[in-house]
Amino acid sequence: KAGVTQTPRYLIKTRGQQVTLSCSPISGHRSVSWYQQTPGQGLQFLFEYFSETQRNKGNFPGRFSGRQFSNSRSEMNVSTLELGDSALYLCASSLDTGPYGYTFGSGTRLTVV
Amino acid sequence: GENVEQHPSTLSVQEGDSAVIKCTYSDSASNYFPWYKQELGKGPQLIIDIRSNVGEKKDQRIAVTLNKTAKHFSLHITETQPEDSAVYFCAASYGSSNTGKLIFGQGTTLQVKP
């Protein structure tokens, strides 16, 4: 079966711009979680969506937001980009809410210049 | 607090030897402990996980042990092969069972020399 699909794979943006990343979960998976991966901070939780509702949010500024659609696809948005937002953004899907049995996508590599 | 400590940060073994990676977590309420393998250019891949009501779990050459009293859990890889070379992450659940998240360790870069 198809895995978790994240688009685009690579992005280069300028400081101050905004960006939208997309995640299509495994068919039948209803929960989508987002993580930021950087060399310095490692993997950090951004948020989780289940049935179009945000169930949990990490310690990130309000510039980071997300949403989930009725087909479970999810998007995350980062506004007013800063250099420190450069990272690999990973989406993980699972059958139900909670961090169990995540399947991660390959990520979107965002570079802010 | 939310913290998972992982050691060592790098590990080099000869093919056929065993590799052990250790993690310590801080939240006594954590009840789920997965391990992920991440290869270059890919997302983390779940290789084994364990729940808090189980002390040990094995899947072929991979095993995980959990000591809830000491808040330690470990990954054991036996008969290592060059394709086991990757970055390995441990994680612990944090928060309630249905809205929780994972707190990840900093990762261990495993190199298996042929």
B102 close to A (CB below 8 A): yes
Predicted local distance difference test score (pLDDT) of residue B52 = 87
A98:B98 CB<8 A: yes
Measured distance CA(B97)–CA(B114) in Å, rounded: 42
Once rounded to an integer, what is the mean pLDDT over residues B11-20? 98
Res. A97 pLDDT band, cuts 50 70 90: confident
Interface test with A, best of B88, B93, B96, B101 (most A CBs within 10 A): B101
A105:B98 CB<8 A: no
Predicted local distance difference test score (pLDDT) of residue B28 = 86
Q: Of A19-28, A84-93, B47-56, give the lowest mean pLDDT range.
A: B47-56
Distances (CA, A) of A61 to A42, B23, B47: 17, 29, 32
Summary mean pLDDT of chain B: 94
Is-contact A23 A43, C-beta < 8 A? Answer: no
Strand partners, B57: B64
Q: Are strands A103-104 and A87-94 parallel, antiparallel or unpaired?
A: antiparallel
Res. B110 pLDDT band, cuts 50 70 90: very high
A48 close to B (CB below 8 A): yes
Name the residue of chain B whose CA is nearest to A96's CA. B98
Which of B42, B91, B98 lies at the smallest CB-CB distance from A97? B98
Predicted local distance difference test score (pLDDT) of residue B17 = 98
pLDDT tens figures, B33-87: 999 999 999 999 999 999 988 899 999 999 999 999 999 999 999 999 999 999 9
Interface test with A, best of B102, B103, B106, B108 (most A CBs within 10 A): B102
Is residue B98 scored above 80 in pLDDT? no
